[in-house]
Amino acid sequence: MRKALVLGGGGITGIAWQLGILSWLHDAGLDLTDADLVVGTSAGSVVGAQITSGTPLHELYRRQLEPPSTEIEARLPRLRMARFALAFLLERDPRRARARVGRIAHTSSTSSQTERRAVIASRLPAHEWPDADLRVVAVDAHTGDRAVLDREAGIPLVDAVTASCAVPGVWPPVLAGGGLYIDGGAYSPANVDLAEGYDRVVVLAPIPGGWGPVPGPAAQLAELPEKTRTALVTPDAAALDAFGGRLLDPARRAPAARAGRNQAPSVLTAVAAAWDG
């Protein structure tokens, strides 16, 4: 039986929440890091790189509780959000819409790619691609095509994760391997469809829904073959309260991590049924 772990986007709080879930499940005897495939989008790309680095989960969780001294608080301005939404409304073709978002992100970015890369590097225990099958999702800022980056792509791991986390309008598009990339969440919050062909699929999705032409995790799970055993974990009310609607706020990291630990017992049975039968 081949297993896939899909880790969705959701900012700093999404990283912390997922590590809270994973660490508690591991302590309870359910280790999702033994997946044959790990798919990471945006925040999920950070988690994917962390859990395939060989660093113990309890250590990764502990780091979420430390003061976030290397992180930078950021918010997406409402006007820029409106411009991105308008791009999808004006373009009937989602691919062309994503390319439009990429152009807007490229021309409107004022932050430093060097500083942003340093932040991502500080999050990763290892800067080399793991032996595990880790696939990091970004979007080509020029074409709007999805880019699935792995160790064969010729792009350093830190650059791939930085690209996957390049939230349009917040962080600059990432130039790597001759391409220019924005956040993989512009294609889908979790990109669950990349797990097609695997027998057991567990999805951790800090952002539970899609919008317009951007497919959400549940919709993509429903497209997998019926024989696939699946489990979808999304934040409960307490976790959403811990996020506080401020997914990019470093001050919310520790509360989000604890919320993941607290929620994990309620999903153990469903996740275990999907993972181990």
Active site members:
42, 183
Q: Which helix (H) or strand (E) holds 87?
A: helix 78-90
**Phi, psi for 179 (deg, rounded to 5):** -115, 165
Q: Residue 204's closest CA among 1, 2, 10?
A: 10
Kind of pairing, strands 179-183 and 229-233?
unpaired
Residue type (1 letter), 122: S
Please state, as a whole number, how many other Cβ atoms lie within 10 Å of the Cβ of residue 144: 22
**Could you tell me if 122 and 113 are in contact, meaning their C-beta atoms sit under 8 angstroms apart?**
no
Phi-psi region of 8 (alpha: psi -120 to 50; beta: other; left: phi over 0): beta
Q: What angle do CA 173, 122, 249 make, to 5 degrees?
A: 70
Distance between CA atoms of residues 205 and 51, nearest Å: 16
